[in-house]
Amino acid sequence: MQRTGPESSSAAVAAEKSALRRRVAAARAQLPETARTAAGRALADHILGLPEAQMAGTVAAYVSLGTEPGSRGLIFAFWKRGSYVLLPLLRPDGDLDWASYEGPDSLAPGPRGLLEPTEPPRGVTGISSADLVIVPALAADRRGHRLGRGGGSYDRALARVGPAVPTVGLLYDGELVDSVPVAPHDQRIRAVAQPGEGITRLP
C-alpha cells in the first residue's frame, strides 16, 4: 500500500537530501588539494572583511573536516586578532557543546574524525553568546536553506542563535543552488561565503 501524508513526504525529502549530498561529496572529492587550500584562503579573506566580523567579540566556528572548505586559517585569524572563538564539541546525543579555541595546540581528536577544543565545555547554549556564527554546509539555496551532513546537530545549535546574528555557511563555488530539500526542523542561514563569489546575503 502506498503511503501518503507526512511520513511519505518526510521520506521523500530525506531521499532528495541524500542524493544531493552524494553529488556534492563526489564533486568535492574531485577538487585537488591546491584548490581546496586556495579556497580556504579566499573564504577567510571574505569573512574577515565583513563589518560584522571586524566588530565580533565572540565568534562561533568549526574545524573543517575532509574535503570541506578549509576553516583553520580563518579560526586562527580570528583568534590572533583578539576575538573569543568558540568551537563545537559533539555530544553523545548529537547536540553541540561549545568550548574556547586557544590556538592550534588546543585541539584534540574527537568523535567521527573531528578535531575539538580541549578547554572546558561551556554548554549547548554557548553559541548564544556569539556575535557571528560560521557553519559547515554542503550546499545552500537563495532562501537560506542549508544542506548539512544529516545529523541535525547544527539545526539544533542554530535554533539557539538570535535573529540579528549573522550565520554564514562556507561553500565552494557552485554550491549555492536554486533549491535545497527542506524538512520542518531545518534552520536557515543568513549568508554564504564562496571563494570566487564572495559573500552572498540571504533572506
pLDDT in tens, 173-190: 999 999 999 988 899 999
- Does the pLDDT of residue 8 top 90, yes or no? no
7-14 average pLDDT score: 77
Distance separating alpha carbons of residues 99 and 158, to the nearest angstrom:
16
Question: What confidence score (pLDDT) does residue 185 get?
Answer: 85
Distance from chain centroid for Cα 43: 13
**Homologous superfamily assigned to 6-201:** NagB/RpiA/CoA transferase-like (3.40.50.10420)
Q: How confident is the model at residue 2 (pLDDT cuts 50, 70, 90)?
A: very low
Phi/psi at 32 (5° precision)? -70, 155
Mean pLDDT of all residues in 80-97: 96
Residue 112: per-residue pLDDT: 86
pLDDT, tens digit, 9 for 90 and up, residues 13-65:
899 999 999 999 999 999 999 999 999 999 999 999 999 999 999 999 999 99
Q: Residue 6: pLDDT above 70?
A: no
Q: What is the mean pLDDT of residues 107-114?
A: 91
Q: Is the pLDDT of residue 9 over 90?
A: no
Residue 56 CA to residue 78 CA, distance in Å, equals 9
Those residues whose C-beta lies under 8 Å from the C-beta of residue 4, and which sit 6 or more positions away, are none
User: What pLDDT, on a 0 to 100 scale, did the predictor assign at position 11?
Assistant: 87
Provide the grid cell at 138.
Answer: 554542503
- Residues 114-164: pLDDT tens digits? 999 999 999 999 999 999 999 999 999 999 999 998 888 999 999 999 999
In the predicted model, is pLDDT for residue 192 greater than 60?
yes
Q: Give the distance, in angstroms, between the CA of residue 200 and the centroid of all CA atoms in the same chain.
A: 15
DSSP state, residue 145: B
